C-alpha cells in the first residue's frame, strides 16, 4: 500500500511537464502536434494504419522513458523525452493531406477559443490566412506571446520543482493565457471575429489523454494485491 501511494505521488510529479504539454495544470494549450497524439483525434482525421502506428510507437517510447525515469529515480531527461516525442509526431503532422490538416486546425481552434483560452492559436498560419491578419496585428501577436512565454519561464524557474508551486503556476498561467488572448482578440475587427467563430467547423467532442501514463501503477497494483495480507 505504501509503495502504491509513493508510485502515485511520483507519477503526479512526473505528470506535470507532460500535462503542461497536453493540456493539464492550467487549462487547454494543445497545439496540432499534441492533438495528433490523441487517439480520438487520429480517428476523427481518419489516419492510415501506418500513420497511427508511427504515433503509437512515439507514445509507447515516451511511456517507456517515463517508466524508466521512475524506476531509476532520475527525472532529468523528461524534457528530452518530450522533445523526441514531439519530433516523431511532427513527422506525421507534416505529411497530412489537405482535408486532414483542415480538420485538425478546426479542432485546434475549437479548443483554443473555448472556455480555456489559448492565445497561441493566433500564431497559426492557417488562422492568419483565414482571418487576413494584418502586419500590425501580427506584431501584436508576436510581442504578446513572447511576453507571455517570458512570464511563464520566470514563474517556472521560481518553482524549481516545487510541486505546490508548480500547481499554483498552472492557475497563474491559465490567467495569463486568458489575458493574452483577450489582448489579441481586441485587435480583431468584427469580420475577423466572425470568421474566427466559423473556423472551428463541425463540433468535436475532445477527450483528454496523457500519452505515456496509461499503464502507470498497474504493475505495482498487482504486486500490492498479492501482498495485501502483509499490510
Maximum Cα interatomic distance, the chain, rounded to a whole number of Å: 69
Whose CA is closest to 219, among 3, 9, 16?
3
Q: Which range in 2-16, 76-90, 185-199 is most confidently predicted, on average pLDDT?
A: 185-199
Measured distance CA(70)–CA(72) in Å, rounded:
6
Task: Of 43-52, 92-101, 106-115, 214-223, give the lowest mean pLDDT range.
Answer: 214-223
| pLDDT value of residue 135 | 97
pTM: predicted TM-score of the whole model, two decimal places: 0.76
| pLDDT value of residue 134 | 97
Number of Cβ within 10 Å of residue 225's Cβ equals: 9
**45-83 in b/e burial notation, b at 16+ Cβ within 10 A?**
bebeeebeebbeebbebbbebbbebbeeeebeebeebbe
Looking at residues 27-34, what average pLDDT do you find?
73
| pLDDT value of residue 169 | 87
Element (H, E) at 220: helix 218-226
Binned at pLDDT 50, 70 and 90, residue 211 comes out as low
Whose CA is closest to 199, among 102, 100, 93, 101?
102
**Tens of pLDDT, residues 135-184:** 999 999 999 999 999 999 999 888 876 778 888 888 899 999 999 999 99
Task: Indicate the Cα dihedral angle 148, 153, 154, 155, nearest 10°.
Answer: 90
| pLDDT value of residue 73 | 78
Binned at pLDDT 50, 70 and 90, residue 31 comes out as confident
Measured distance CA(89)–CA(42) in Å, rounded:
11
Looking at residues 114-124, what average pLDDT do you find?
93
Domain boundaries, the chain: 7-205
| pLDDT value of residue 116 | 86
For residues 208 and 127, the model is more confident at: 127
Whose CA is closest to 99, among 56, 52, 44, 55?
44
| pLDDT value of residue 15 | 46
The mean predicted confidence, pLDDT, of the chain is 82
Q: Is the pLDDT of residue 48 over 70?
A: yes
| pLDDT value of residue 161 | 64
Amino acid at each position: 500500500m505504501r509503495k502504491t501511494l509513493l508510485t502515485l505521488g511520483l507519477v503526479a510529479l512526473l505528470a506535470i511537464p507532460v500535462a503542461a504539454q497536453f493540456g493539464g495544470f492550467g487549462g487547454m494549450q494543445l497545439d496540432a502536434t499534441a492533438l495528433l497524439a490523441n487517439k480520438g483525434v487520429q480517428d476523427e482525421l481518419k489516419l492510415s494504419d501506418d500513420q497511427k502506428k508511427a504515433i503509437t510507437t512515439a507514445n509507447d517510447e515516451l511511456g517507456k522513458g517515463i517508466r524508466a525515469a521512475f524506476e531509476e529515480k532520475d527525472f532529468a531527461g523528461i524534457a528530452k523525452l518530450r522533445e523526441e516525442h514531439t519530433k516523431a509526431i511532427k513527422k506525421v503532422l507534416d505529411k497530412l493531406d489537405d482535408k486532414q490538416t483542415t480538420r485538425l486546425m478546426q479542432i485546434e481552434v475549437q479548443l483554443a477559443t473555448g472556455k480555456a483560452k489559448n492565445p497561441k492559436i493566433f500564431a497559426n498560419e492557417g488562422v492568419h490566412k483565414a482571418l487576413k491578419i494584418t502586419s500590425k496585428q501580427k506584431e501584436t501577436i508576436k510581442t504578446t506571446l513572447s511576453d507571455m512565454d517570458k512570464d511563464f519561464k520566470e514563474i517556472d524557474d521560481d518553482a524549481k520543482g516545487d510541486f505546490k508551486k508548480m500547481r499554483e503556476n498552472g492557475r497563474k498561467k491559465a490567467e495569463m493565457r486568458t489575458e493574452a488572448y483577450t489582448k489579441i482578440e481586441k485587435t480583431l475587427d468584427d469580420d475577423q471575429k466572425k470568421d474566427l467563430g466559423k473556423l472551428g467547423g463541425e463540433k468535436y467532442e475532445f477527450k483528454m489523454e496523457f500519452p505515456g501514463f496509461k499503464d502507470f501503477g498497474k504493475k505495482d497494483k498487482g504486486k500490492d494485491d498479492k501482498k495485501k495480507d502483509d499490510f
